Structure 1
Amino acid sequence: MDPKDGDDDEFGFSRNYFLAKEIGGSVKKSSHKLSDINLVDEEELREAAAGIASKHEKEMASLLNSYKNLYSKWLLELRCGFSLLMYGFGSKKALLEDFASTALTEFSVVVINGYLQPINIKHAVIAIAEVLWDQLKEKRRTPNKIQQTFNSQSMEDLLSFLDGPNAKESDCFIYVVVHNIDGPGLRDSETQQYLARIASCSQVRLVASIDHVNAPLLWDKKMVHTQFNWCWYHVPTFAPYKVEGVFFPLILANSGTAQSAKTAIIVLQSLTPNAQSLFKVLAEYQISHSDEEGMYWLPMNKLYMMCRERFLVSSQVTLNSHLTEFKDHELVKTRRSADGQDCFYIPLASEALEKLLQELG
């Protein structure tokens, strides 16, 4: 091999590296604007989506049918104290419901639809406790006049009942099926801790599905191996998320408050973290002064002082560059006050701003 060839290759790599750096450095800012996102009416978009002919139905049905061979194995693992976690591309709702209706017929099944945003974990625990209480009464032949009330009990009391000595002494089991355990209504840390404790109860067996790529980050080592005690199964179905998707606003649809915040998020995610934090300052001020006529316009000098206090900007020049970027992206509007000072305003309702701040974290 000629040594000169190696030198030429090294020179070529170096040249391409510096060319890429030069080209990347020449791009000063993103050119995305809110007006560039063409939005349509949500109902019209959903009707158009519903009219799209489904493809490969036979193949998907065959794939779903092939998973039935695993039902006996899944049932054995549940009886041995494990929980089942299904992941893979496509909706797994039909798969879990078929498994529950065909293989989990021995005891009661409680279904939690995690894809619903307003879900209440305590209501779900109350439902599980009531089902277990009914099973215990039937096993002991307890008179029906004795009734346990769970609605007034705390979460700790409910969990203590599910894992109490009365439940452990019986052979009663509750199968809990959770569609999208990583759903928006179940995604917070406290709810996941409650779900982990439910799964660790001796009389509860959990079957769940996930779809978010970062879902495993919801759990620590103890939750995964001790409380949930997951058995992971890759079961792609390639089925559309028809039911789950109904409860989410379409990203290309103009559906008012929620969608306005969504489109603003798309633009903000292309900006720097400092720019996002500065935008939060402006949004929080606007929300806190939403009830005051004309006071939600934030003057330049006040904005500069607020940002300096949070160490977001070091000079007026830095602040001006961020504000120029906001104006270029049509995220803010400006007007001149009576004393000749620029004032800034985000053209979103307070409800939309609150949703936007939640998305930005």
Structure 2
Amino acid sequence: MDLRVGEEVPMEEDDEFTLSRNYFLAKEGSTSRKKSARKLSDIDLVDEQVLRMAVSAIKPKHEKEIESLLKSYKDLYSKWLFELRCGFGLLMYGFGSKKILLEDFASTTLTDYGVVVINGYLPSVNIKQVVITLAEVLSDQLKHKRKNSTGSKSRTQQPFSSQSIEDLLSFLNLQLPDDNDCFICVVIHNIDGPSLRDSESQQYLARIASCSLVRMVASVDHVNAPLLWDKKMVHTQFNWCWYHVPTFAPYKFEGSFFPLVLANCGNSQTTKTALVVLQSLTPNAQSVFKILAEYQLANEKEGMPINALYTKCRERFLVSNQVTLNSHLTEFKDHELVKVGRHADGQDCLHIPLPCEALGQLLQELG
């Protein structure tokens, strides 16, 4: 603004100048105030069990409205069944738990078909066991239909548990020209759950969905869930029909396996989690972990060199070669039971990310 001496400043410009000056004075005052020294780590966290009990005691709101909303979706059941019979899959999305909705649809509308429910929100889901269960349910359904039509017993076959996953998928993909309405339904709560998000699990689920005798009904809750699939999986294998069905129901079951933000995940909780993982591994893998834990308790400041671990494991006849040991270590690393570091001398060393007290407790629990 070009102002000459002796000239008057117009009223509008004067107001604008005052406004600007007050703004910068206010900003200057706000930055000069003393900042709080409090940190997030200063929050006094409570025990997880206590917090979960407190959460469960909270009275739910809008129960009537939620129930009314769920009832309104019943009008779509016949349409959903028609689309399943036409070979499509159903994918439900929207805010709120859809567990009650999917199970009500299955129990009221899919009564003429075999139904297998997969809880994708669980910490681990065994895909091979899922395929075995599907094959067993389908086999029973086919036997029942043949018995009703011919009155004769079907011949016995090799147990499904001893067959490969490829053979099981071939069985689920049988062609039955005489009956186009024979299929089994897979209901998956949270197909985008943490244990199913890896590429291998999604590829297997897509192959299951594409089998001629399988129909899939699933729910998603993560905003990026569609990124799990490519075009072929969406349009050819899953063959989704997308439905926006917000329920606004609490994620009571889905959230029960996730750590709470305000919970104190102390040593006891960490030990409990590690114990659950280790108990799912083979006895040899557990013994390898014990050797590593015992070394760490005796040498707190050092990780165990991989060569030393291999020597100990061979002495106790736990592994016969380096490849076997590496497979155990891969499992440990995948479950975040072991971290890999490097010694000052350049050796790769293994370290269990648990304090000594928790590690000792874990060894006692393992026996």
TM category, shorter: 0.5 to 0.7
Report the counterpart of residue 164 of structure 2 in structure 1: 154
SS of 2:257's partner is coil
User: What does residue range 1-361 of structure 1 map to in structure 2 within 5 Å?
Assistant: 35-141=41-147, 142-143=152-153, 146-165=156-175, 167=176, 170-171=179-180, 172-256=182-266, 290=296, 293-296=299-302, 348-349=354-355
Instruction: Quote the offset at 1:147 in angstroms.
Output: 4.0
Residues 200, 346 of structure 1: alpha-carbon distance in 2 compared, 3 angstrom cutoff: closer
Instruction: Quote the offset at 1:38 in angstroms.
Output: 3.0
Structure-1 separation of matches of 2:352 and 2:42:
18
Whichever residue aligns with residue 180 of structure 1, its letter is N
Instruction: Quote the offset at 1:291 in angstroms.
Output: 5.8
Structure-2 separation of matches of 1:290 and 1:36:
30
Whichever residue aligns with residue 160 of structure 1, its letter is S
Structure-1 separation of matches of 2:108 and 2:55:
32
Instruction: Quote the offset at 1:118 in angstroms.
Output: 2.1
Whichever residue aligns with residue 52 of structure 2, its letter is R
Residues 349, 158 of structure 1: alpha-carbon distance in 2 compared, 3 angstrom cutoff: farther
Residues 180, 258 of structure 1: alpha-carbon distance in 2 compared, 3 angstrom cutoff: farther
Structure-1 separation of matches of 2:211 and 2:303:
54
Bigger radius of gyration among the two: 2
Structure-2 separation of matches of 1:173 and 1:256:
48
Whichever residue aligns with residue 39 of structure 1, its letter is L
Q: Is the 2:146–2:154 Cα contact (8 Å) retained in structure 1?
A: no
Instruction: Quote the offset at 1:210 in angstroms.
Output: 0.6
Number of aligned residues: 263
Structure-1 separation of matches of 2:268 and 2:193:
17
Deviations 1:109-158 (A, max 9, x none): 11111111122111111110011111222222352661441101111111
Residues 67, 257 of structure 1: alpha-carbon distance in 2 compared, 3 angstrom cutoff: farther
**Greater relative contact order (CA < 8 Å, ≥ 6 in sequence):** 1
Aligned-pair identity in percent equals 66
Q: Is the 1:132–1:174 Cα contact (8 Å) retained in structure 2?
A: yes
SS of 1:213's partner is coil
Runs of at least 5 residues in structure 1 that lack an aligned partner in the other structure: 262-285, 299-344, 354-361
Deviations 1:190-228 (A, max 9, x none): 111010011111111100001111111111111011100
Residues 31, 228 of structure 1: alpha-carbon distance in 2 compared, 3 angstrom cutoff: farther
Q: Is the 1:71–1:103 Cα contact (8 Å) retained in structure 2?
A: yes
Deviations 1:146-178 (A, max 9, x none): 14411011111111111134x565442101111
TM-score by length of 2: 0.63
Q: Is the 1:109–1:177 Cα contact (8 Å) retained in structure 2?
A: yes
TM-score by length of 1: 0.64
Across the aligned residues of Structure 1 and Structure 2, the Cα RMSD in angstroms comes to: 3.6
Residues 79, 240 of structure 1: alpha-carbon distance in 2 compared, 3 angstrom cutoff: same
Q: Is the 1:110–1:177 Cα contact (8 Å) retained in structure 2?
A: yes
